Amino acid sequence: MLTPTIVMGIAAASVLCVTVAIALVIRDLSGSATSGAELPVGGLRRPFNVTDEMPSSSVTGRLDQGFERLVLESGVETSPLGAFAWLVFLGLAVGGALFLWRDQPLAAIAGMLLGMSGGLVWLMRKRAVRYRQMREVLPDVLDLMSRAVRAGESLDQSIRLIGDEVGGPLGHEFRLCAGQLDLGLSLPATMKSLMRRVRLPEVRVLATTLMVHRQTGGNLAMTLERMSGVIRDRLNYIRQMKASTGAGRMSAMLIAIAGPLMFLLMFTLQYDHLKIMFENTLGNSLLLLAVVLEIVGVIWVLNLLKTD
C-alpha cells in the first residue's frame, strides 16, 4: 500500500525528471541561436532583430519588442525565445516546489510569478551593468578618437581603430560600425544603427555630432575633446548624486523588501497564521491587492531615484 511519503517521493521525482527535460530542451533551444557577439563583424549577413523593426502600435507588440530589446541589450548569449523559455522554467521550478511543499495553488502561482520576476530582474541588472561599462569607458574612447583624428586618421579609420583597440561591449559596438562602413553603409546610417542598438544619451550625442561633422565639417578633434570633458563631468555628477542619496535609496530598498520578506518568513515558519489568507476569498483578494501595491510602490520609488 502506498503511503503519503511514497506518493510525495514519486511526485517529487516526477517533477525533477520533467524539470531536467525542460532544462535540456531550453539549453538546445537557446544554444541553437547564434548571438550577435559570436557573429563575424564583417559578415554579409546578420540576424534580424528588434533594432531593424518599426515600433509596434499595439500593446502586445510593444511588450514583445521591449522584452526582445531587453535580451539584446543585456548581452546574454541567447535568443529572446530562449530567454523567455528560461523565465518560464524558473517560474515552473519555483512554483512547482512551493506547490509540492504546501499544496496550495495560490502559493504555486505566487512562486511562478516570483521565479519569472527574478529572471527579469537579472536581465535588467545585466543591461544596467553593460550600459554602465559603456558609459565609464566612453570618455577614454573619445580621447583616443580625438588623438587619432589629430594624427591624420580619417573618421572611418578612427572608428575602426576604436573597434580594434577597445574591448568590452562598447568596443564590440564600434567593431559592428566598422564592419558596416566596410560594407559600404554611409556614416549617417551607421550612426543611426548605433543609436538604435545603444540607447544611451552620451552615445546619441556622439552619433549626432559625427553625422553633423560629416555634413558640415569643422574641428572634430576639439569637439571630441570637449565632449569627453562633458561626459566626465556628467559621470562625476552621477557618482555624487548616488553618494548623496545612498541613505535614502537604502531605506527605500529596505522598506520595499520588508513586506515580502516578512511574508516569506511567516509562510515558512508560521504557516498557520497565513492559512486563512489562502483559504478565504477575502484573504486572496487582500493578498493580490498587497502584491499590486508593492509593485506600484517599487516602480514609483525607482522612478524617483533615476539619475538619467
**CATH number assigned to the domain comprising residue 186:** 1.20.81
Q: For residue 126, count CB atoms less than 10 angstroms from its CB and return exposed for 0-12, middle for 13-18, buried for 19 or more.
A: middle
Co-location of 146 and 165 in the same domain: yes
Residue 238 placed within a domain: yes
Q: 48-103, pLDDT tens digit by residue?
A: 666 666 777 777 778 888 888 888 888 888 888 888 888 888 888 888 887 787 77
Co-location of 237 and 140 in the same domain: yes
Residue 37 placed within a domain: no
Co-location of 141 and 192 in the same domain: yes
Residue 13: per-residue pLDDT? 56
Please answer whether residues 145 and 206 qualify as being in contact, where contact means their C-beta atoms are separated by less than 8 angstroms.
no
Residue 283 placed within a domain: yes
Residue 77 placed within a domain: no
Residue 59: per-residue pLDDT? 79
Co-location of 201 and 234 in the same domain: yes
| pLDDT band at residue 301 under the 50/70/90 scheme | confident
Co-location of 255 and 229 in the same domain: no
Co-location of 227 and 191 in the same domain: yes
Which of 186, 218, 243 is the C-terminal boundary of a domain? 243
Residue 162 placed within a domain: yes
Domain count along the chain = 2
Co-location of 214 and 278 in the same domain: no
What are the start-end ranges of the H helices in the chain?
4-32, 59-74, 80-102, 105-150, 155-165, 168-182, 187-197, 201-216, 220-244, 246-269, 271-279, 281-304
Co-location of 257 and 230 in the same domain: no
Domain that holds residue 171: 135-243
Residue 7: per-residue pLDDT? 44
Co-location of 270 and 199 in the same domain: no
